[in-house]
Amino acid sequence: MALCEICGVKSSRYVCQKCGRRICESCVNIYSWICSECYSKTEPQIIEEHKGIELPVKLFIIGFVTIFIGMMLIAFGSLILGAKVSGGIVIFPFIPVPIVFGFGSEAILMIIIAMLLILMIITIIKTIKF
């Protein structure tokens, strides 16, 4: 058997895919099948990093903000125009802590319902074993 054309010590078992030299197992890069000299000459490939937020997450955030702004406009509009309407919004951005907005005569009822939801969610979380 012929000796390795790079180190000249071990017998060659491989052929470099780039330059065609016969090389031993110590001088071959087994991932690219090229010799150590050709491997050192190759430029490192730059891997593109994923920057920013992915499209579905962006759409979710835009939708959430749009709905939130719309609900706030409805609430403030009814307060400003003096309509005899009551209602509210319960948002769970961080479970089990809700954000509650209420207006009109039933705002207290909305807060009570939100508190009951908090207790119910905390009870469910404590019973679930992770």
Per-residue pLDDT of the chain (130 residues; tens, 9 = 90+): 689 999 989 999 999 999 999 999 999 988 888 998 888 888 666 556 666 777 788 888 888 888 888 878 877 777 776 666 677 777 777 666 777 777 777 777 777 877 887 888 788 878 876 5
Would you state the pLDDT for residue 1?
A: 66
Query: Is 14 among the domain residues?
Result: yes
Say whether both 72 and 106 belong to one domain. yes
Give the Cα separation of 82 and 114 in Å (integer). 25
Domain of residue 14: give its range: 1-42
Q: Show Cβ contacts of residue 114 under 8 Å, excluding neighbours closer than 6 positions.
A: 90, 98, 100
Question: How far apart are alpha carbons 107 and 79 in whole angstroms?
Answer: 12
Kindly state whether residue 47 falls inside one of the protein's structural domains. Answer: no
Same domain flag for 26 and 73: no
Q: What is the pTM of this model?
A: 0.34
